[in-house]
């Protein structure tokens, strides 16, 4: 497994996500390439599943 993907997965291992976590995931995804970028991109479904109402509102802004 590659370093950026591992960092992205660590962000999602938290019990709650923050807007800063989402921004970091965006940064990691933008730095990744090839299969790693695709795998990080697939984590977004988990972000929306884990997000609380406050975070969902922040993501819409």
What is the tens place of the pLDDT at every residue in 12-46? 998 899 999 999 999 999 999 999 999 999 999 99
Whether 17 contacts 47, CB under 8 Å: yes
Full domain range(s) for residue 42: 3-60
Cβ neighbour number for residue 17 with a 10 Å cutoff:
19
Query: In the structure, what pLDDT confidence band is assigned to residue 1 with cuts at 50, 70 and 90?
Result: low
Whether 7 contacts 41, CB under 8 Å: no
Alpha helices in 1-43 (DSSP H): 3-11, 19-31, 34-41
Task: Please give the pLDDT value at position 34.
Answer: 96
Question: CA dihedral in degrees (6, 7, 8, 14; nearest 10)?
Answer: 110
Q: What is the domain count for the chain?
A: 1
């Amino acid at each position: 497994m590659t370093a950026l993907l591992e960092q992205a997965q660590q962000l999602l291992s938290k019990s709650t996500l923050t807007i800063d976590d989402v921004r970091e995931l965006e940064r990691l995804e933008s730095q990744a390439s090839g299969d790693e970028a695709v795998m990080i991109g697939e984590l977004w479904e988990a972000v929306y599943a884990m997000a609380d109402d406050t975070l969902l509102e922040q993501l819409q802004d």
